[in-house]
Structure 1
Amino acid sequence: MNNEPDAIPRETGAEAWRTLLQPLARAQDALARLEATAAAVSPDVREGLRARLAYREAAGWLAHHGHWIHPVDLALRDAGLTGSYTAARLGARLPSVLPVTTRDAEAGEGEADVPEDQDVALALTVARLWRRLAELRTWQPLESAEALAAALAPLGGAAGSFAALQDLLATADLPPLLVAGIVVRDWSVGRAGQGERRDRLAAPGILVAACIWRAQDGRGDPGLPVWSAPVQRLHRLALQPRALWLPGFLDCVAEAAGLAARELARLRQAEARAATLERTARSRLPQAAALALRHPVISARLLADRLRISHRAGLDLTRQMVDARLIREATGRESWRAFVVV
């Protein structure tokens, strides 16, 4: 192995392959099933899946750093429908800005540990980058060292060597998912100083891995899920020694892909319910239902702006979709209400 701190070593040896084959097969199968199903759904469902998985990855990143925030609450914050978590905590108004997280905590499904606003901002940056990577085929972060540095800048910059990465991609005779796992594992090595803990699940390394996965055979829709794996599994992975890390990473990918498949099934069921809604020739209900599928959170104002109708008409459309059990109210408040797909 190269002793340079920014090098990305290659995997060799029959013993390494024996420990990797089963988790690699599980992860590849889960991703292949997810991609095949996503390729067969409508554009509305496909776009909605990308957006929701981006917030799931962002929420998983926060959870990995000790802060559980529900993906819907992150979507509300990103849409400008809620404000600062820090200010709300000081004013004892957390349920108003973290309605789903607070409700889950009260139900015993989690514990709200409010992050600082800069951590929330970084998590939302993660969500935007992951969604951009899934949606834009013209964005090529691996095209050059400058392009990669620009892509990683919002996440704190690069630690690995672009030259070592290019060498690995050009010479490694390994499955793309395994190459992605090696990059995640070793990308942050150069950033850690003596005695400093290395975070092998750092955001820059996983973004590079997601870029590698997308570049292989046109993959990338809906993307490479990692952080949306159960947080307990992520925590165990973070504690694994280097020699045992890759199988755990592949297991995380397999579980995250399985959860993404469940999200996709939920959206397909919602689309089937939307198709049964009563409508007239002039009804905007089909377009409103499509927006509900595309956006993780919607409001009467969003419907009014996108459909170019009055706010009152937007309120009426949300009422019809609530009555049809297509969407439900997410904020628990009387004004500035937001809705999510049931």
Structure 2
Amino acid sequence: MVRRSPVGQGFAERLHFIEAVASMWVAGELVHIEDLVLHDADRDVRAPTHEVTIAHSILRARRRIASAEPEWGMGRSGVASLMGRSATFAERESGGEGSAASSTNLALDADESGFAVEMAEIDAVLDRSARALEAVATNEGRKSDALMVGELVVRDPEWDEDGRLSEWRAVLEEADALPATLAAAVIWDAWESMEPLQRQHWLGAQLVNSYLRVRGKVSSHLFGFCSGLKAIPRERRRSPKRISRVLAGLDAMTTGAELATKEVIRLGQAREHLERKLKGKRSSSSLPRVVDLLMTRPIVSSSMIVKELKVSHRAALDLVAELGVREVTGRASFRAWGVI
């Protein structure tokens, strides 16, 4: 349905934002989608919070997975790249196999945005700094169970991320024999139970989305697992019984698919309504590009239109007024519009 829809590409891009916010919600953090959209466009109206920064990391990870080959996201080098680790880690985890595959993965990694690369470098510096401080503490004869900044635990050296990831991959290999949706629910539950990563626990749900793509269950776009997971009560998602958690994962996939179908239909109807206002316009009109922008973003501000279309601020306001799109902020100083 998404592949055949005229709004399919816009829906797929819009879903990245929706899923990033939903992932934070499932983790117990509230991020307003308009803040994430504006932060992604470098048009923040205020300093981004820590939660918005994490949500943007999820957004970038989804885009990276969606732009690569289906198998990349679940591969060792793909997971290492999404974690911000180097290709050396992936080779060590896989036992150094496949130099040709490593070259391909390095080429894929080179395609990452400059910002993503910079963030990975920062993570590497922080990791090296943590190890250096830990070594200093050890040399001074003090026991270092974790690196502390005030009351904040930055890293637990006993966590053993590599070992937990290996255990999770063992579950992944066993799940490959199951039907795609059941296997996806199993690997999601395994990730939630094992907690392989300390700082990027959100990656597990995005790997589930990637897995459904690898298995061919959802090939037109990257699935929105967390969007469906929001509708599942926490008591079911965190049940002490494994069967209950797996069933909750299956229900989340069903709900996510239903929500996606409704959203595609809604966007299609909205686009048809907006395209009626394009009839009789000059071929050089910027209105069609504004419509395309509205389809790919949950909200659009005048500064975003100025940046994307290279027009003046006054022209951006005139374009939006001509389309008659609903204003969603209710503010005088900062205004934004969206297909609600």
**TM-score of Structure 1 vs Structure 2, range by shorter chain:** 0.5 to 0.7
Render the CA deviation track for 1:254-308: whole Å, top value 9, x for unaligned: 1122112222112101110122114422422222212211222223333333333
* Partner AA of 2:2 in structure 1: A
Which residue of 1 is the match for residue 255 of structure 2? 255
Q: TM-score normalised to the size of structure 2? A: 0.66
Match of 2:81 in 1: 150
Is 1:222 matched up with 2:215? no
Equivalent residue runs for 1:1-342 within 5 Å: 37-42=1-6, 45-79=7-41, 80-84=43-47, 117-137=49-69, 140-143=72-75, 145-153=76-84, 160-162=164-166, 165=169, 168-169=172-173, 172-191=176-195, 202-217=201-216, 219-229=218-228, 231=230, 233-241=232-240, 242-277=242-277, 278-281=279-282, 282-322=284-324, 327-342=325-340
Partners in 1 of 2:164 and 2:219 — Cα distance? 22
Report the residue type matching 1:235 in the other structure.
R
Q: Which amino acid aligns with 1:127?
A: L
Counterparts in 2 of 1:186 and 1:163: CA distance versus 1, 3 Å? closer
Cα distance in structure 1, aligned partners of 2:189 and 2:65: 20
| Structure 1 residues 125 and 46: CA distance shift in structure 2, 3 A | same
Give the number of the structure with larger relative contact order, counting CA–CA contacts within 8 Å between residues 6 or more apart: 1
Shift, 1:163, TM fit? 7.5
Identify if the C-alpha distance between structure 1 residues 136 and 298 changes in structure 2 by more than 3 Å, giving closer, same or farther.
farther
State the TM-score, normalized to the length of structure 1.
0.66
How far apart, in 2, do the equivalents of 1:330 and 1:284 lie? Answer: 22
Distance in 2 (CA, whole Å) between partners of 1:131 and 1:121 is: 15
The 3 A distance-change label for structure 1 pair 139 and 171 is closer
Percent of residue pairs bearing the same amino acid type = 24
Distance in 1 (alpha carbons) for counterparts of 2:243 and 2:217: 30
Give the count of matched residue pairs: 262
Following TM superposition, by how much is the alpha carbon of 1:67 offset from its aligned partner in structure 2, in angstroms? 3.3
Q: Secondary structure at the match of 1:257?
A: helix
2:251 aligned partner, one-letter code: D
Amino acid at match of 2:250: L
Q: Name the CA distance, whole Å, in 2 between partners of 1:328 and 1:63.
A: 26
Distance 1:65 1:138, change over 3 A: closer
Deviation of 1:192 after TM superposition, in Å, equals: 7.7
Helix, strand or coil for the counterpart of 1:141? coil
Equivalent residue of 1:38, what SS? coil
> What RMSD, in angstroms, separates the aligned Cα atoms of the two structures?
3.2
Judged with a 3 Å threshold, the aligned counterparts in structure 2 of structure 1 residues 312 and 257 are, in CA distance, closer, same or farther, namely same
**In 2 relative to 1, CA 65–208 (structure 1 residues): closer, same or farther, beyond 3 Å?**
closer
Report the alpha carbon displacement of residue 174 of structure 1 after superposing the two structures with TM.
1.2
Q: Distance in 1 between matches of 2:33 and 2:306?
A: 24
Residues 128 and 279 from structure 1, CA distance in 2 versus in 1: closer, same or farther, beyond 3 angstroms? farther
Residue 131 of structure 1, CA deviation: 3.2
Distance 1:232 1:293 in 2: 24
* Displacement after TM superposition at 1:184 (Å): 0.9
Match of 2:97 in 1: none
Do the aligned partners of 2:229 and 2:253 also contact (CA within 8 Å) in 1? Answer: no
Confirm or deny: 8 A CA contact 1:81 1:336 kept in the other structure: no
Runs of 5+ in structure 2 lacking a partner?
85-119, 124-154, 156-160
**What is the distance in 1 between the residues matched to 2:234 and 2:220?**
26
- The answer (yes or no) to whether the contact 1:160–1:187 under 8 Å persists in 2 is no
Displacement of 1:137 after TM fit?
A: 3.4
Unaligned runs of 5+ in 1: 1-36, 86-116
Give me the whole-angstrom Cα distance separating, in 1, the residues matched to 2:166 and 2:204: 12
Mapped to 2, the partners of 1:132 and 1:147 lie a distance apart of 9
- Counterpart position of 1:106: none
Change beyond 3 A, Cα 1:38–1:121: same
The one-letter amino acid of 1:280's match is K
Shift of 1:167: 7.5
